[in-house]
């Protein structure tokens, strides 16, 4: 009997310890550029993550307790690697990070050495496709973005000549190459590819070259600071052609800095519209406005989805690194504010970008603009037909009156 009591006591202690262990919060690690030149992307991503985390903690859908640990990479890939390793060492089964292509490329090395998951909220270079079984991203690959714009430029805008201006960065190089291949495949001619060093404010020579060539369109591939300089420079020089660019412009702060110079710019991004009536998006936008007193941009939306995907992987898999990986692999058609989320075998999310235009300081789906224009033309046609019928009626009335006289 004593032996049975001792065994029962030991079993209770083991179960109690197990319960205590299960109640320990999961260490949710986040590495983002919250200062420096890339904070323009890191800050809204952070806000989106923070909002999603708070909603998850308040809700009853996810029962595993979590604690959020956000670290500032300052936009430095080497620092991002160091912080990622620290978070893994502190017990994080997975980390959200790698906001830029440069950071993500560096951080994947650590994820592989630790055999743990890294979820990027916004890195998009084609070089990241299939780079590691531990790497996932909720942002679509630039292969899709560049292909979409190359096809759109030739088939919708009927542009036959273009100049490409791109910074010498892995991100810009990847997307401009994809754009060029698709543009030329569709019969377009690239007059020149002008590459310039990253982090330079002297882009006068680039703008001079564009103005000399007088292309029907220019394709800009760079991060925020470079885009703003080029847009303002092209405006100052009176450039009249089409300006095409990437989702790097889809930040509220970029729009504010560029001002009128961004009007009419066409760009590609995943199908996210803050003005949508879709319930999930509407709820997210209202909650974000209430918390931060501003509208969520594309990057805030992807941060929000990255955190919700993290929680879903915990729910479907578990808190151990291998369980979490299995949870990521089991995610299928998960409803995100940036569209349904599902990863292919290479860790890429299956989203297909659309073309947007900057109009009256807002990001507007180009198809919606075309539809509104079509409706306006149809209304004008109907008004004209109505007027013509009225004039014809008046003419006949006059003729009849003249005949009676």
Q: DSSP 3-state assignment of 182?
A: helix
> What phi, psi does 210 have (nearest 5°)?
-60, -45
Domain ranges of the chain: 23-140+274-352, 143-269
Helix H or strand E encompassing 193: strand 189-196
pLDDT digits (tens), the chain, 405 positions? 444 334 333 433 333 333 344 568 999 999 999 999 999 999 999 999 999 999 999 988 888 899 999 999 999 999 999 999 999 999 999 999 999 999 999 999 999 999 999 999 999 999 999 999 999 999 999 999 999 999 999 999 999 999 999 999 999 999 999 999 999 999 999 999 999 998 888 999 999 999 999 999 999 999 999 999 999 999 999 999 999 999 999 988 899 999 999 999 999 998 898 888 999 999 999 999 999 999 999 999 999 999 999 999 999 999 999 999 999 999 999 999 999 999 999 999 988 899 999 999 999 999 877 766 676 676 777 778 888 888 888 888 888 876 554
pLDDT of res. 163? 98
pLDDT of res. 298? 96
pLDDT of res. 402? 63
Residue 50, CB half-sphere, CA atoms under 13 Å: how many? 15
The matching CATH number, chosen from 3.60.70.12, 3.60.20.10, 3.40.50.2300, 3.40.50.620, for 23-140+274-352 is: 3.40.50.2300
- 3 in the Ramachandran plot: left (φ > 0), alpha (ψ -120 to 50) or beta? alpha
pLDDT of res. 394? 84
Calculate ∠ Cα 359-257-138, nearest 5°: 75
The answer to whether 206 and 229 have CB atoms below 8 angstroms apart is: no
Tokens found for residue 265: 């710019």
47: Cβ–Cβ under 8 A, 6 or more apart, which residues?
288, 291, 292, 296, 300, 303
Tokens found for residue 214: 């007088």
CATH class, domain 143-269, is alpha beta
Instruction: Tell me whether the CATH fold assigned to 23-140+274-352 matches the one assigned to 143-269.
Output: yes
Tokens found for residue 60: 């009853």
The answer to whether 228 and 245 have CB atoms below 8 angstroms apart is: no
pLDDT of res. 21? 46
pLDDT of res. 327? 97
Tokens found for residue 384: 């004209």
Helix H or strand E encompassing 43: helix 39-58
Q: Is 8 exposed, middle or buried (0-12, 13-18, 19+ CB in 10 A)?
A: exposed
């Amino acid at each position: 009997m004593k032996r049975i009591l001792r065994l029962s006591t030991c079993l209770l202690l083991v179960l109690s310890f197990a319960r205590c262990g299960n109640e320990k919060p999961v260490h949710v690690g986040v590495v983002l550029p919250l200062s420096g030149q890339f904070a323009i992307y890191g800050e809204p991503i952070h806000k989106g993550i923070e909002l999603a985390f708070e909603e998850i903690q308040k809700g009853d859908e996810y029962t595993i307790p979590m604690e959020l640990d956000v670290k500032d990479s300052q936009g430095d890939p080497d620092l991002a690697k160091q912080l990622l390793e620290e978070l893994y060492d502190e017990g994080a089964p997975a980390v959200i990070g790698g906001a830029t292509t440069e950071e993500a490329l560096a951080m994947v090395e650590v994820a592989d050495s630790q055999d743990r998951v890294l979820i990027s909220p916004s890195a998009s270079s084609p070089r990241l496709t299939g780079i590691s079984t531990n790497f996932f991203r909720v942002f679509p690959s630039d292969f899709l973005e560049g292909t979409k714009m190359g096809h759109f430029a030739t088939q919708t805008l009927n542009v036959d000549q273009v100049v490409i201006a791109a910074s010498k960065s892995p991100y810009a190089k990847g997307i401009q190459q994809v754009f060029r291949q698709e543009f030329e495949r569709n019969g377009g001619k690239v007059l020149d590819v002008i590459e310039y060093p990253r982090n330079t404010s002297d882009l006068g020579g680039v703008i001079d070259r564009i103005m000399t060539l007088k292309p029907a369109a220019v394709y800009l591939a760079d991060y925020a600071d470079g885009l703003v300089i080029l847009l303002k420079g092209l405006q100052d020089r009176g450039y009249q052609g089409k300006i095409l660019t990437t989702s790097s412009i889809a930040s509220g702060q970029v729009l504010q800095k560029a001002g009128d110079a961004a009007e009419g710019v066409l760009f590609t991004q995943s199908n996210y519209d803050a003005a949508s009536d879709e319930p999930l998006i509407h709820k997210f936008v209202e909650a974000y406005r209430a918390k931060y007193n501003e509208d969520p941009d594309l990057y805030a939306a992807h941060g929000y989805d990255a955190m919700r995907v993290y929680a879903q992987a915990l729910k479907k898999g578990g808190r151990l690194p291998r369980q979490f990986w299995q949870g990521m692999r089991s995610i299928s058609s998960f409803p995100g504010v940036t569209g349904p989320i599902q990863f292919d075998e290479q860790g890429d999310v299956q989203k297909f970008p659309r073309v947007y235009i900057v109009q009256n300081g807002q990001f507007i789906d180009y198809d919606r603009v075309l539809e509104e224009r079509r409706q306006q033309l149809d209304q004008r046609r109907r008004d004209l037909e109505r007027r013509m019928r009225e004039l014809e009626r008046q003419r006949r009335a006059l003729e009849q009156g003249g005949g009676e006289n």
